[in-house]
Amino acid sequence: MNYVQIEEKNKEFLKEYIKETLNIMKFTKNGHLPINTLFPLDVRKVIISSKISIQGADLAKEEIRLLIFKSLKNLKTKGTTSLFLEEFNKDLNSEIALYLSLPENEYCLIFPLYNNSDEISRKRKYKVREMEFKKKSWDEIKKFSGWKDFTKRVSQLINLPYNPDELMKIMINKFIPLIIFTKGRSADHAFQNAYIKYDLFCSILNLSDNLSARTYFFGGPPTHLEAIFPSPYYIVFKSGGDYETLYITYEKYKYDKKGQIKRKNLIFMEKIMNHLERKDEKLRFLIEDSILKYGQALNTLDWRYAFLDLWQILENLSLCRLENYFKMETVINRINALLGENNSSAAILLEELKDTRNKLVHDGEFSKEGLLTFNLLKIIVDRSLLKIFSSQKKFSNTNSLKLFFQHISQSDSNLKETKRIINMIQRSRSKL
């Protein structure tokens, strides 16, 4: 079966792009890619996946990207002719067919949480959507049959000496292991499905401390704005305890202090999770994606990426990303309406920041006062998120929010007329 469909307009681009991607893929003697090439290749997987469609196979975006990477690796390993696109198409179809035939296996995933506060220690498990993360001790994890293989692999990747006892000391002091058993056709599949829930968990905790907060630096290099840093690595064991693989965090963090999760953070997280459960699927996706982007904005030192992450939150909350309609004036007007700004202060500020956004997207230029610009946009994003969180009954689905945006700009007289027509329609229907 031909799962991979490529529109004619994308074929020439993909042919050259796949060729370029194969050229930058360089493997070490042990068959691994250098760490500094992983992020650019991740970006390329996303771009390639956006130019193709998969028919006849129910696969998540991340599953498709993983299969794309596998096909690229296959082509690089065996060498290619000049028929880059044709060979890629053929290999990807084969990988999809093979992947769909695989049985689901159970994996044990370890998510080290950068925190050692009493509040976290008191609670034994955390439920994020349908997944349950259980708190364990490192002594329990150390008993896994694959622990020694894991520590050896870590020492190879991040240049730590092969000393499991020293590694245990670092992890015990800085991290709490959260564990989850889940199924997947592959370790990648199982990890990605669980990681997005874990990332949501951490992003909500960071959100609770950063909403309406401002950060300024007075000399010295910038630091990350979040309190709960990502772990330098995440571990996957087979269900029986044998080591399977690990995943590395690209950005480097200074784990020189413990993140402190307070009781108020956990209460906030539970409220947000309950809030999300009551939303329809589309609106829940937009809000969750916005929370994840907020977390991404806090855990990068590059204010350009942080600024774009925050702007995309406004595109989410204004429904422009859902409608695939990215006219900046619409984003600005809808966010201003959401905030109920009679004096249009949000619109005025966003008009100024719009130029910053456009220069960054189209020309790669960004303000020299990066953190100040970030903070100005964050003011609007924080208030917009709080408005959505506090308007649970008003906006239970995307349709109610869309109707709000449609009618908020109408004059009082037009609203009265609209209401009169709606009442008339309802009365006529009730007589049928």
C-alpha–C-alpha distance, residues 430 and 372, integer Å:
56
Per-residue model confidence (pLDDT) at position 91: 93
Q: Please state, in angstroms and rounded to a whole number, the distance separating the CA atoms of residues 119 and 262.
A: 6
Length of the chain: 432
Q: Is the Cβ–Cβ distance between 336 and 318 less than 8 Å?
A: no
Give the three-class secondary structure for 94: helix
Tokens of 347: 């619109």
Q: Strand (E) positions, 68-172?
A: 105-113, 125-128, 131-135
User: Which residue reads 């198409």 in tokens?
Assistant: 89
Q: Which of 406, 396, 421 is nearest to 337 (CA)?
A: 406
Give the model's pLDDT for residue 61. Answer: 78
pLDDT at 219: 42
On the CB side of 133, how many CA atoms lie within 13 Å of its CA?
24
Task: Give CA–CA dist 282/371, Å, rounded.
Answer: 32
Whether the predicted model's global pTM rises above the 0.85 cut: no
Burial of 129: CB neighbours in 10 Å, binned 0-12, 13-18, 19+: middle
Regions of the chain with pLDDT less than 70: 30-31, 34-39, 80-81, 116-121, 157-168, 212-227, 257-259, 324-326, 341-344, 360-371, 432
**Are the beta carbons of 269 and 204 closer than 8 angstroms?**
yes
Which of 253, 234, 266, 258 shows the shortest CA–CA distance to 299? 253
Lookup: tokens for 379: 């003011």
pLDDT tens sequence across 394-431: 887 888 888 888 888 777 888 888 888 888 888 888 77
pLDDT in tens, 361-384: 666 666 666 667 778 888 899 999
Q: Which amino acid is at 264?
A: K
